[in-house]
Amino acid sequence: MRQAKYRHRYGEERRNAPAHRQYLRLDSRQAVERFLASLPADATGRQIHSRFQETEMSLTIRRAVREDAPLILRFITDLAIYEKAEHEVKTDVAGIENSLFAEGSTAHGLVCELDGEPIGYAVYFFNYSTWLGKHGLYLEDLYVTPKQRGIGAGKALLRHLAKLAVARGCGRFEWSVLDWNQPAIEFYDSIGAKPQNEWIGYRLAGDALKDFAAG
């Protein structure tokens, strides 16, 4: 996720202060269900293809397919530009195709469309809690184009993922958020997500990863 792993942006401008990530969690079925109850009901109730109605607009969430690789790369790049980190995007269309859509890939994508036009995406994967003895769902990226924020697309994607977590019997739904994004933090607090402030995230990447692996 480049400087920040969580891509939920609700019109908040990037701060000049150094960014830090808060790790948040919906850590029980009850918490996830309370979150689901706080959002508008979808018209179909489906887990993989959810449709939401708002006035005359139609929001649709579908699974991303290989042909979406250029679109997803564009969203990734748009997000990086928004975060002033475009230079950190190292992948290309082939990289997306060969990772997110490869046979046996452990990551999955969603595309959100408004009246048939893509306006956002999410990427997620399943992790595991040894304490719970259950899988969890980790949200890697969630992005909605700036012009379409405020119509419920971000909430719709979150709701879709929360439903998926419940359907799969996951014990947790987790993500990270930039510490300056106060509107997002307040929203996550309101749905029952709890910051995991006692944990510090670590990362091995690039040459440091290769050097450590080589011994």
Q: What is the mean pLDDT of residues 100-122?
A: 97
For residue 168, give the CATH number of its domain: 3.40.630.30
- Spell out where the chain has E strands: 21-26, 50-54, 57-63, 107-114, 117-129, 134-144, 172-178, 194-195
Q: Could you tell me which residue, 165 or 84, shows the higher pLDDT?
A: 165
The reply to whether 148 falls in a domain is: yes
Would you please indicate which residues are annotated as catalytic (active-site) residues?
Answer: 188
The reply to whether 16 falls in a domain is: no
Residue 192's CB is within 10 A of a number of other CB atoms, namely: 17
pLDDT at 38: 57
The reply to whether 14 falls in a domain is: no
The reply to whether 9 falls in a domain is: no
The reply to whether 8 falls in a domain is: no
The reply to whether 13 falls in a domain is: no
pLDDT at 106: 95
At position 75, the amino acid (one-letter code) is F
State the residue range of the domain holding 186: 21-214
Rounded Cα distance, 162 and 200, in Å: 24
- Report the mean per-residue pLDDT for the chain: 81
The total of structural domains in the chain comes to 1
Q: Is the pLDDT of residue 145 over 70?
A: yes
The reply to whether 11 falls in a domain is: no
The reply to whether 7 falls in a domain is: no
Rounded Cα distance, 41 and 159, in Å: 9
Share of the chain above pLDDT 90, in %: 57
Please give the model's pTM, rounded to 2 decimal places: 0.76
